[in-house]
Structure 1
Amino acid sequence: MTAYLERMPAGIPGDVTRKGNAVLEPNMMGAAALPFGAVIQLTGGKVAAIAAGGTVYGFLVRPYPMQSTETAMGAGAMPANASCDVMRSGYMAVTLKSGTPAKGAQVHVRVVAGAGRLVGDLEAAADGTDTMAVPGCFFMGASDANGITEIAYNV
């Protein structure tokens, strides 16, 4: 059993953290798998990764219960062409790839890959035209040692 000496993990990416406030919508995945907690858009009526010029539709929810071949805490992805849930409003644990979040600060998503950064990565600061602000999405506090933090979206 793991002993937490300083701080427990902030959550598991894609987990809805305040269930009573969430608005979830059933959808279908597109042709590509996506990590839990990913910012998504709809393409042809199916869930797809956000792209430059895309319109944010929500965040990919981690289903429970779920069996996965991933073993690392928080690792995993929703397979292509599967049914899934999208959070349209609520609070969720997500993976922050860069920056230091502060409560109430705007969440940004990368839409152009850069050095060590992938399209879809969540960031705490704008990076010119390589990132875009996620409308109605704000950090709820600091991230843990693994970069997991809570966001509020359309609340």
Structure 2
Amino acid sequence: MGNAILYRMPSGIQGDVSRPSQSTIEPATFDSANPFASYGIPAKKVGGKMRPLAAGDTADLIVGFLVRPYPTTGGAGSEPQGTSTPPTSGIGDLMRRGYMTVRNNAGAPADGGAVYVRVAAAAAGKPIGGIEAAADSTNTVVIPTAKFKNAGDANGNVEIEYNI
């Protein structure tokens, strides 16, 4: 079986709210012209619609993180858990305050460590809007209201706090 947990449970699933009772989640309309690549990444609002960060954006534009609804499947019903693609239209969930599992793309997160978001120089495994635990010159900006809550797991899943 490919689903046996041999050593440690995963830290979570990207985009899942990890402490629902301490979170504020609001509905938001997707901007179909600017789709999200994954759950658990920062969102901004433009013209009343939610969209992912783009190259050159600043941290002050972030209004929350895109929440993975449960249960959900991606565009293809065969997508494995934790890899589903968000819809491109309709209503989504936006975490304005709380705790969430995100995917760390670079660096070693630590409890209380700064959370960075990539805003330039996308590379393999480091998309624009992706979360990182290390500054990368002018390619990342710190999210001042976010902190890592643990070291994460071997797959890069890690809990953050936002606006707490």
Give the structure-1-normalised TM-score. 0.94
- The unaligned stretches of length 5 or more in structure 1 are none
Q: Tell me how far 1:104 sits from its aligned partner.
A: 0.2
**Distance (whole Å) between structure 2 residues aligned to residue 64 and residue 86 of structure 1:** 14
- Say how many residue pairs are matched: 155
Letter in 2 for 1:74: G
**Distance (whole Å) between structure 1 residues aligned to residue 67 and residue 118 of structure 2:** 19
Identity fraction in percent: 42
RMSD: 1.4
Q: Whose strand fraction is larger, Structure 1's or Structure 2's?
A: 1
Partner SS for 1:135: strand
Give the structure-2-normalised TM-score. 0.89
Q: Tell me how far 1:6 sits from its aligned partner.
A: 1.1
Runs (4 or more) in structure 1 with deviation over 4 Å come to none
Residue 124 of structure 1 corresponds to 133
Greater displacement, 123-132 / 49-58: 49-58
Q: Tell me how far 1:143 sits from its aligned partner.
A: 1.6
Q: 1:7 to 1:114 in 2, by over 3 A?
A: same
Residue 144 of structure 1 corresponds to 153
**Distance (whole Å) between structure 2 residues aligned to residue 53 and residue 83 of structure 1:** 23
Residue 106 of structure 2 corresponds to 98
Partner SS for 1:20: helix
**Distance (whole Å) between structure 2 residues aligned to residue 43 and residue 96 of structure 1:** 26
- The unaligned stretches of length 5 or more in structure 2 are none
Letter in 2 for 1:98: A
Q: Is the 8 A contact 1:23 1:87 kept in 2?
A: yes
